[in-house]
Amino acid sequence: MTATASSASTETFSRADWLRGYESQTEERDYWIDDIEGEIPAELEGTVFRNGPGLLEIGGQSLHHPFDGDGMISAIAIRQGRAYFRNRYVRTEGFLAEQKAGKILYRGVFGTQKPGGWLANIFDLGLKNIANTNILYWGDRLLALWEAAEPHRLDPQTLETFGLDRLDGLLADGDPFSAHPRIDPGSERTGGQRRLVNFAVKTGPSSRIRLYEFDESGRCVEQQERVIPGFAFLHDFALTPNYAIFFQNPIRFNPLPALLGQRTAGQCLASDRNKSTQILVIPRDPKAPLQTFETESCFVFHHANAFETADGAIVVDSVCYDEFPMLEPDRNFKEVDFDSYPRGELFRFTLHPGQPRAERKLLESRTCEFPTQHPRTVGQDARYYYIGAAAAPTGNAPLQSLLKIDLETGDRKLWTVAPRGFIGEPLFVPRPGGIAEDDGWVLSLIYDAARHSSALVILSAQTLEPLARLNLKQHIPYGLHGCFTPQ
């Protein structure tokens, strides 16, 4: 492997640059951000919270995959044109134990094994709750989420970890709680009130999907459970005023190699390319029946949005991969071959009542991930999406651009930090009092290999012009998800 070549056709980045964004960040810091290019818009006030793997090796042993890395939270509080940065690890039981021991003590889901070969891993099916996927602020609680176990609650000011949060007894010991809640902006069924909706899956030969709805104060006001046939790896869902929509990817799960210590759970998944993907439409009304649609075999982590049409159809926009992106068991993530690795493209699925097969249409063929939108348009026929995208229109590559998609006109706007920059999940922040759907800002944490540090960029959502760039004093390894709160 050379240090400079990337996808053969499109050399938008150097591999050495890309890899440095995956160096562990072992320091926890607090400071005023004093290196600001441009100007923070005066009306933009609040806190950006980000979560993602902060440690990519432990005791000198590289993790097999970043999704196995301990959750590190970054917070950037913006007030009156100034910004304060803080980062802290979530003090999970596993993080504390491994830091003390100075070595890996737990198996990860995505290929990280305890040192010592299969004998050291055999029959260990325990999960390390690494709290690394998302961070949510709702009902005065700041929660770090990891889909296979309970949330951890943190102090929103200091980011100190309080411990596991079982949501006032809603969750039992070890219960899952997805890292992809959605916020219903309010509709008839919620009495116009905002609601946080989230799910949890317990999977096996059949799977149980639990759906929770929380009011503004964080109280659970509705919950239901549905049992569906087959194994289900559900990372995200889409929400409309009346439905929760899941894509059941065609995945086989053979746990034997995990049991025998040879592979971890996530490495026992295999895409079944001959089987269709099932689209599960769960009514938020627990008494109404579940409907299932199908579409050609694909794998979905993230949905952009969904909405109901006047003629009773449901439209879902999702980032689809041809199959579950999986590394070969002996190949560390640092050696990934982008050209042969599945890449995400944005598709629109229309589910017509009485038709078992979904209509499928490609919306965006450029490699993309991490879609977002104006919070007011969740569950509605949104006009604009903002999404991380590759710098080149074809081929697979890391995200180096931000793409704004106008679903009404088909217009695209692209802002890129290539060749030395890499981009994270965008967040859309509405301008207070704004009316237009794109009246606001797009915020994203980027990694700049030229400085080996990260920066928060603030773009005009209307034009994608950069308004401010807040340069941090250190790098934040490529992250997963986060949120913005006006507090």
Sites of contact with ligand 3ON (CB under 6 A): 67, 109, 132-133, 147-148, 203, 233, 235, 265-266, 301, 369, 399, 478, 480
User: What's the N-to-C CA distance of the chain in angstroms?
Assistant: 47
CB of residue 24 vs ligand 3ON: minimum separation in angstroms? Answer: 15
Closest contact distance (angstroms) between CB of 132 and ligand 3ON is 6
Of 126 and 191, the one with the shorter C-beta distance to ligand 3ON is 126
Distances (CA, A) of 266 to 65, 120, 410: 10, 18, 37
The nearer residue to ligand 3ON, 115 or 174, going by C-beta atoms, is 174
Closest to ligand 3ON by CB, 147 vs 438, is: 147
Shortest CB 346 distance to ligand 3ON, Å: 13
Minimum distance between the CB of residue 57 and ligand 3ON, rounded to whole angstroms?
Answer: 17
- CB closer to ligand 3ON out of 199 and 233: 233
Give every CB contact of residue 301 below 8 A, 6+ residues apart in sequence: 235, 236, 319, 321, 344, 369
DSSP string, 330-368: T--GGG--GGGS---EEEEEEE-TT-SBPEEEEEE-S-E
Residues contacting residue 140 through CB under 8 Å, at least 6 positions apart? 218
- Distance between CA atoms of 107 and 95, rounded to whole angstroms? 12
- By beta-carbon proximity to ligand 3ON, the closer residue of 277 and 462 is 277
How far is CA 361 from each of CA 193, 207, 222, 283, 485, rounded to the nearest angstrom? 33, 29, 34, 24, 34
Residue 208 Cβ vs ligand 3ON, minimum distance, rounded to whole Å: 12
Query: Could you tell me if 20 and 405 are in contact, meaning their C-beta atoms sit under 8 angstroms apart?
Result: no
Min CB(422)–ligand 3ON separation in Å: 8
User: What sign does the dihedral 425-182-84-28 (CA atoms) show?
Assistant: negative
CB of 150 to ligand 3ON, least distance (A): 13
Considering beta carbons, is residue 31 or 341 the nearer one to ligand 3ON?
341
Residue 310: exposure state from Cβ atoms within 10 A (0-12, 13-18, ≥19): exposed
31 vs 15: CA distance, rounded Å: 31
Query: Peptide bond preceding 419: is omega within 30 degrees of 0, i.e. cis?
Result: yes
- Indicate the residue among 156 and 388 with the shorter CB distance to ligand 3ON: 388
Which residue in the block uniquely carries the two structure tokens 């690494």? 130
Encoded amino acid at 68, one letter: D
CB of 142 to ligand 3ON, least distance (A): 19
Angstrom distances, CA of residue 53 to CA of 195, 202, 279, 300, 370 = 28, 24, 30, 21, 16
The secondary element (H helix, E strand) that includes residue 291 is strand 291-295
Least distance from C-beta 202 to ligand 3ON, angstroms? Answer: 9
Between residues 184 and 236, which has the closer beta carbon with respect to ligand 3ON? 236
Quote the CA–CA distance of 333 and 55 in Å, as a whole number. 14
Nearest to ligand 3ON of 26, 254 (CB atom):
254
CA 468 vs. chain centroid, Å, equals 24
What size, in residues, is the chain? 487
From residue 341, alpha-carbon distances to 271, 330, 397, 410, 417 in Å are: 14, 15, 9, 28, 22
C-beta of 469: minimal distance to ligand 3ON in Å?
A: 20
Of the pair 228, 480, the CB lying nearest ligand 3ON is at 480
CB-based contact 104:85 (threshold 8 Å): no
Nearer to ligand 3ON, 206 or 463 (CB): 206
- From the CB of 408, what's the least distance to ligand 3ON, in Å? 27
- Residue with smaller CB distance to ligand 3ON, 385 or 437: 385
The answer to whether the beta carbons of residues 238 and 306 sit under 8 Å apart is: yes
**Least distance CB 58 / ligand 3ON (angstroms):** 17
3-state secondary structure 152-220: EEECCCCCCEEEECCCCCCCCCCCCCCCCCEEECCCHHHCCCCEEEEEEEECCCEEEEEEEEECCCCCE
